[in-house]
Amino acid sequence: MKERSGIKNRAMKAAAGFLRLTNGFPFRQLYGGAGQILAFHRVVPEFSGERIWSNSYLEVTTGYLETVIQYYRSHGFDFLSMDDLINGGFERKKKFVVFTFDDGFRDNLTQALPVLEKHGVPMTIYITTDFPDKKTILWWNVVEDVILANAHLSFEWFGERMEFPCSSPAEKNETFGMIHSLIQEGNELTLKERAMKFCSTFNTDPFASIRELAMDWDEVREMSRNKLVTIGAHSISHPVLSQLSAENSFDEMNRSKLRIEQETGKRVDHFAYPFGGMTEATGREYELAEKCGFRTAVTLVSASVKKDHSNKLFELPRIAVGMSMKKETFELMRFGVIQMMRKRATPV
């Protein structure tokens, strides 16, 4: 595994070096686009202790965030808000980058904002309203805590005895994947009920994480008053919109818009589809987002924004950023190579 990732890193370095020499030809011209919208989730001071890899992918450190800002600055990108983008952003000569943050984590206020303020970089935060309402179960955090605290797991799951080894980091990561599937893909009950069942099995308060990690409405209002911050909507309960009836899909989008407007006293013009892949937000959702009165909506289809996206404002592509992305990855992204290879970056 190590050997393979070593080869991959060397190949990426070589490809990035070659593209620097040719200034990205021919990829930049074909896929480089007019700019990029980046998607983040949590921003933490530093990683501490042992972690489950797939959870840590949803976090970057403040130092890493700063490095990303410096990377785009050193290559002459303009830093735009989503409003700037629709107010002339597509006609700019210089390439642009937009920083966006999903869900509504408190560290967007305490960790990300100070870094972005230091560099004068605008941010858009897409709020899932169940976050400030403290109704979401961050069950993947509960699963991580349970796995890290135990060397072996044994529990009853819908009449079946489950046994998972988790004494080494490799076993813990593997077990996490299996329990994640049990909860995410199970057929019994709803997702939320399965998550509740897992929490009660391990005697954990299902809402402790969301109380600690999500902004409350006072904090959302504080953010909305900051000139660098745009608050967008990200649904009420973070469902897969395409799996809902058209009526319910519209309702999830529309009610989240109205709720945030009511709480902040400001118009909400921008939306991010939960999960955001091509199967989770389809043409129907693009139409519904427009019908709600949003002015833009972003996916998590990993690609650069092109000039002709000015006519496709409800399907703007967005690139999820994780700590595993090295300088070479950004180099290949800037030239459009990564987007060409990979249509979707992350499952959230």
Residues at the interface with Zn ion (CB under 5 A): 102-103
Which of 282, 231, 233 is closest to 253 using CA atoms? 233
Give the residue with the Cβ less far from Zn ion, 103 or 263.
103
Give the residue with the Cβ less far from Zn ion, 103 or 144.
103
Give the residue with the Cβ less far from Zn ion, 19 or 292.
292
Q: How many residues does the chain have?
A: 348
Give the residue with the Cβ less far from Zn ion, 16 or 300.
300
Give the residue with the Cβ less far from Zn ion, 223 or 337.
223
CB of 272 to Zn ion, least distance (A): 7
CB of 308 to Zn ion, least distance (A): 27
Give the residue with the Cβ less far from Zn ion, 73 or 255.
255
Give the residue with the Cβ less far from Zn ion, 89 or 232.
232
> Is the Cα torsion angle 281, 287, 290, 295 positive or negative in sign?
positive
